[in-house]
Amino acid sequence: MERICFLLQVKPDRLDEYKERHRNVWPEMLDALRKTGWRNYSLFLREDGLLVGYLETDDLQQSLSEMAAQDVNTRWQREMAEYFADLNGRRPDEGFLQLEQVFHLD
């Protein structure tokens, strides 16, 4: 199992809208995440827009690849891209900075 932590930057003027979108994630998007191996997935947002994501999966690259093939993911990523800074033309699920795990208590 892989533990994944990543960073993205939400535009500060879009924080409230971003949070509202995540109160109402499409059911088919939630199903797609589960079916493609995303487990224990959480997002944390700092007041300046720093977004920290965490998930567990058996294989991140496979999970990302399987999600990329989902129509619902294409639609979700297209709609969510406007909330992020510094994507340089990439989708949010392609533009995150993955952090290296250096410790885990177990």
- DSSP assignment of the chain: -EEEEEEEEE-GGGHHHHHHHHHS--HHHHHHHHHTT-EEEEEEE-TTSEEEEEEEES-HHHHHHHHHT-HHHHHHHHHHGGGEES-TT--TTTS-EEEPP-----
Active site (catalytic) residues = 22
